[in-house]
Amino acid sequence: MKLNKKSAIIISFALGTVMFTTTAIAQVVAKSGYDQLKDSVKYTAENCTTKLSNYTMDTSFSLKDNGTVIYSGNSLNKVDVASGAKEDVSTRIEGSTKSENYNYSDKKGSINKNSEQNIYYVSEYASPLENTATSNPFKEEGADDIEKIADALVGNLKDAVVVAENSDGTKTLSGSLSESQIPALINAVVSFQSKNEFGNRSNNPNGESSLPKITKDVFVKEVKGNMVTTKEGFIQSVLGSGMISGKDESGTEHKLTFELLAKITSVNSTKVSKPDLTGKKVEKNVQQNYSKITNPGKYIGKYKTDILIDKGGKFEKIGERFIDVTTVDTKSISGRFYEEYAVGYEEYATNKKDFKFNAKFEKDGLNASINAANSSNNVTQGNISINPGSAKIYFNTGENTNGNMIFDDQYSKIFN
């Protein structure tokens, strides 16, 4: 069985363990300790995304089932914040299967290779990306709410951590929580997530599976954490571990131990180099940047969609809606919207729309709000969106149906 990078349980739980541990540390220390920890995490995130020139992050993790290692991996990630270049070398071992992956990326493209294929896959971007640096999670939408939820989960844990200030000014925060100290709510969350991840795991094609299928009696037995920071509060290393217990369908108990070690080193002395592919087997492709409009002029023209009615158990076409885009650039789009009805369906055209619009794109450069009035001063509100990956435009006026009439918001370009 393979674990992809996104859903690998060892990563999700290990990171969850560290988050829980560090949040618990923040709560159980005095208020000043709580503030210091939060400041350190936020200070590190801010530096690693905007202020440092470069750095290296070395991460290793493992999963044991009743003392036997069944999954392990490590990753060496080099980041050049200034140039937006990244290089990652990772190794994963599950059971008897070992896999290695290499990834490089910058503003102009990416290079990928795995141990299963001796091929370097090179993607060149049609236009350079504006920003490839890692985003700061504390500046993402909803970050404040997630922080409050984490605080609520930990509750009122006290006196479970030791904070030591070392002679060189660095600080060590360490602590552990036993089974009896784990709040019921956290146990419930871990139980639910573990059953989903472990209980639904399918075997790989050769029939081997190193992970047990835990489906009942899941609870957290212990959590431990250790964090070292510089005197300024920059995190140097994090060591987290935890154990959950559960049973499979046959009633066999499994004690799963997770361990994660992460270090940030070579600050402002890391070198990220694009690999030399001379003599290597390479497959290239040009990847379009679908996150912005790169050639606005190609969207000028006429688009249409059908107007249908549901009549007598079948659909009938009674007319068409048109968008005539006359001007478009990276900041705005303007044109005309109108409807035409077929002969014999004039009764449906009583309130047919016909108006001009001029809308400014939002920050993403793809979406704009419409607030237009026709000759009778009837105001129409809605939004328009360009899909850079196709010759279609999304145009919504707030109605998908009107009586038995059916409208489609996707408009396809008309070609002569």
Q: Is the pLDDT of residue 293 over 60?
A: yes
Per the CB < 8 A criterion, the answer to whether 260 and 238 are in contact is: yes
Residue 202, burial from CB neighbour count under 10 angstroms (0-12, 13-18, 19+): exposed
CB neighbourhood size of 155 (10 A): 14
At 35-89, the pLDDT tens digits run 677 788 889 999 999 899 999 999 999 999 999 898 999 999 999 998 889 999 9
Q: What does the DSSP 8-state code read for residue 14?
A: H
Q: Which residues pair with 282 in a beta bridge?
A: 120
CA–CA distances in Å: residue 147 to residues 20, 104, 144: 11, 32, 5
Q: For tokens 């030399």, name the residue.
A: 276
Please, which pLDDT band fits residue 238 given cuts at 50, 70 and 90? very high
Most confident of 74-83, 359-368, 393-402: 74-83
Q: What does the DSSP 8-state code read for residue 206?
A: T
Q: Is the pLDDT of residue 11 over 50?
A: no
Per the CB < 8 A criterion, the answer to whether 335 and 326 are in contact is: yes
At 253-277, the pLDDT tens digits run 889 899 999 999 999 999 999 999 9
| Angle at 319 (CA atoms; ends 313, 323), nearest 5 degrees | 130
Find the helix or strand (DSSP H, E) in which 42 lies.
Answer: helix 31-46
At 106-147, the pLDDT tens digits run 988 899 998 888 899 999 887 777 765 577 888 888 888 887
The average confidence (pLDDT) of the chain is: 81
- What 3-state class would DSSP assign to 327? strand
Find the helix or strand (DSSP H, E) in which 29 lies.
Answer: none
CA–CA separation, 356 vs 77, rounded Å? 52
CA–CA separation, 242 vs 10, rounded Å? 11
Per the CB < 8 A criterion, the answer to whether 116 and 102 are in contact is: no
Whether the CA torsion 268, 274, 275, 276 is positive or negative: it is negative
